[in-house]
Amino acid sequence: MVLKIAQITDTHLFADRKTAMRGLVTWDSLGDVVAEVRDWKPDVLLLTGDLTHRGEPQAYQHLIERIAPLNLPTYYIPGNHDQVDVLNQEFKDSPFLADNVFQRQGWQVLLLDSTLETAESGEGYVSEAQLQELEQSLTACSQPTVVVLHHHPIPMGIDWLDTIGVQNSQAFLNCLTRFPQVKLVLFGHVHLKFDELYQGIQFCGTPSTCKQVLREEAREQEAYPGFRGLRLFEDGTYQTEVIRSHPG
Ligand SMILES: [Fe+2]
């Protein structure tokens, strides 16, 4: 048995579906990615922030219109572009689940809110309360664990981007590395594919469903919208891949 989880992130929807972000209509590109997610046949969906660009209720309703037909248990966290109260209000019904911890098929998934109310440039922070909750969940359950947050807790190697990650990442990493069951950390925010093993934990950055951040040496397909698929096996091993939709 395998648990298949799809991560969709940084959808940046607007109240008007025709609005483009840096030349790309985010409603359209999300539609292309959702078609790929449907074909991949996940069991669970994670939405990892920047779900809307400006936090309007209509923009969240557009997201529901795209996601609800997948009919998947859907967990979500906010990003720096979201309005948390509006998000929680709009996502109060099925298929959305407000839980920030769940266990399925021998795995535990922990979702953290890394948004910072006083942020000036979209930077993130893992609050003391979130760190305590993380520690409690990891102490209570030793099943293989995936930790999910919006902001990146390790550097991407891109100067401007690395100023807006988790500001107290060392406290977060110190907590994680005390618990050997932590296998993966998933995040959005960076709008690019990133995979790196750090102190035995796989850190995974996932492309946006719209515009990507491109490194100088990026190949053409790294500009394409995409999502991340995770296959979690009962023996505690995993596989992960990024699947992209071809624009146009
Ligand atoms: Fe974003």
pLDDT of residue 246: 81
pLDDT of residue 6: 98
Task: Count up the domains in the chain and report the number.
Answer: 1
Give the Å distance between the CA of 12 and the centre of ligand 1. 7
> Residue 94 CA to chain centroid, in angstroms?
19
Give the Å distance between the CA of 223 and the centre of ligand 1. 14
Sheet holding 238-244, edge to edge: 96-97, 74-77, 44-48, 2-8, 226-233, 238-244
Look up residue 88 and give its amino acid. N
**Nearest to 70, CA basis, from 32, 28, 41:** 41
Can you give the residue range of the structural domain that contains 160? 2-244
Give the Å distance between the CA of 36 and the centre of ligand 1. 20
**Helix residue ranges, H only, the chain:** 26-40, 57-67, 84-90, 128-140, 159-162, 169-176
Q: Could you read off the pLDDT tens digit of each residue along the chain, which spans 248 residues?
A: 899 999 999 999 999 999 999 999 999 999 999 999 999 999 999 999 999 999 999 999 999 999 999 999 999 999 999 999 999 999 999 899 999 999 999 999 999 999 999 999 999 999 999 999 999 999 999 999 999 999 999 999 999 999 999 999 999 999 999 999 999 999 999 999 999 999 999 999 999 999 999 998 989 999 999 999 999 999 999 999 999 998 66
pLDDT of residue 95: 93
pLDDT of residue 114: 98
pLDDT of residue 188: 98
Q: Which residues lie below 8 Å from residue 94, measured CB to CB, with a gap of 6+?
A: none
* Ligand 1 ion: residues within 5 Å (CB): 10, 50
With 0.95 as the threshold, say if the pTM is over it. Answer: yes
Q: Which long-range contacts (C-beta less than 8 Å, at least 24 apart) are formed by 165-170?
A: 165/123, 165/124, 165/189, 166/114, 166/124, 166/125, 166/126, 167/116, 167/123, 167/124, 167/125, 168/125, 168/126, 169/126
Give the Å distance between the CA of 82 and the centre of ligand 1. 10
CATH classification of the domain holding 216: 3.60.21.10
Tell me how far CA of residue 225 lies from CA of 11, 111, 175, 233, in angstroms.
Answer: 10, 23, 32, 27
Give the Å distance between the CA of 7 and the centre of ligand 1. 14
Give the Å distance between the CA of 140 and the centre of ligand 1. 32
